[in-house]
A and B are shown apart, each in its own frame.
Chain A
Amino acid sequence: MIQMTGAELILRLLERQGIRTVAGIPGGAILPLYDALSGSKLIRHVLARHEQGAGFIAQGMARVSGRPEVCFASSGPGATNLVTAIADAHLDSIPMVAITGQVPLSMIGTDAFQEADIYGMTVPVTKHNFLVRSAAELLQVIPDAFRLAMSGRPGPVLIDIPKDVQTQVVSFDAFPLPAIPDAAPAGDPDAIEEAARLINAAERPVLYVGGGAVHSGAAQQIVALAERAGLPTTMTLMALGVMPIDHPLSLGMLGMHGARHTNFILEESDLLVCVGARFDDRAIGKAAQFCPRAKIVHIDIDPSELHKIRNAHVAINGDVGAVLDALLPRVNVRLRKRWLSHVGSLKSRFPLHLPGLDDPRSHYGLVQAVASVVGDEAVVTTDVGQHQMWAAQAYPFRRPRQWLTSGGFGTMGFGLPVAIGAALAVPARTVVCFTGDGSFKMNIQELATLAEEGLNVKIVLMNNNSLGLVYQQQSLFYGKRVFASKYRGAPDFLKIAEGFGIGGVDLDTAQNPRAALVQALSGPGPCLIHASIDREEFVYPMVPPGGANTEMIGG
Chain B
Amino acid sequence: MIEQVADPLQESGFAKVVLELEVNNHPGVMSHICNLFARRAFNVEGILCMPMSDPRRSRIWLLVFEDQRLEQMVLQVEKLVDVLSVRRHGAEHEVFERLEKFFY
Contact = CB atoms under 8 A, between A and B. Distances in A.
Nearest to B33: A123
B81 interface: yes
Contacts of A307: 71-72
Contact of A304 (B1, B4, B75): B75
Contacts of A473: 2
Contacts of B36: 124
Nearest to A544: B2
B51 to A, nearest CB: 17
A120 B1 contact: no
B52 to A, nearest CB: 21
A123 B72 contact: no
B39 interface: yes
A308 B71 CA distance: 9
A302 B76 CA distance: 10
Contact of A469 (B1, B5, B27, B76): B1
Interface in A244-302: 256, 281-282, 302
B75 A123 contact: no
Contacts of B3: 545
Nearest to B3: A545
Interface in A519-550: 544-546
Contacts of A148: 81
B79 interface: yes
With a 10 A CB-CB cut-off, give which of B2, B27, B32 has the most chain A CB atoms. Answer: B2
B28 A545 contact: no
Interface string B36-58: 10010000000000000000000
B85 to A, nearest CB: 15
A313 to B, nearest CB: 16
A303 interface: yes
Nearest to A131: B28
Contacts of B27: 131
B31 interface: yes
Interface string A365-389: 0000000000000000000100000
B31 A304 contact: no
Given A128-B81, A307-B71, A477 B28 contact: no
A128 B35 CA distance: 13
A545 B5 contact: yes
B49 to A, nearest CB: 17
A500 interface: no
B62 to A, nearest CB: 17
B39 A124 contact: yes
A256 B76 contact: no
A401 B80 CA distance: 28
Contacts of A384: 1
A410 B36 CA distance: 22
A119 interface: yes
A256 B81 CA distance: 35
A502 B78 CA distance: 49
14 contacts: A123-B32, A123-B35, A124-B35, A124-B36, A128-B80, A128-B81, A131-B27, A282-B1, A302-B79, A303-B79, A384-B1, A469-B1, A469-B2, A544-B2
Given A129-B28, A148-B81, 20 more contacts: A119-B28, A123-B32, A124-B36, A124-B39, A127-B81, A128-B80, A131-B27, A256-B2, A302-B79, A304-B76, A304-B78, A304-B79, A307-B71, A308-B72, A473-B2, A544-B2, A545-B2, A545-B3, A545-B4, A545-B5
Interface of B: 1-5, 27-28, 31-32, 35-36, 39, 71-72, 75-76, 78-82
Ranked nearest first, the 4 interchain pairs of A and B with the lowest CB-CB distance are A546-B5, A304-B75, A128-B81, A123-B35
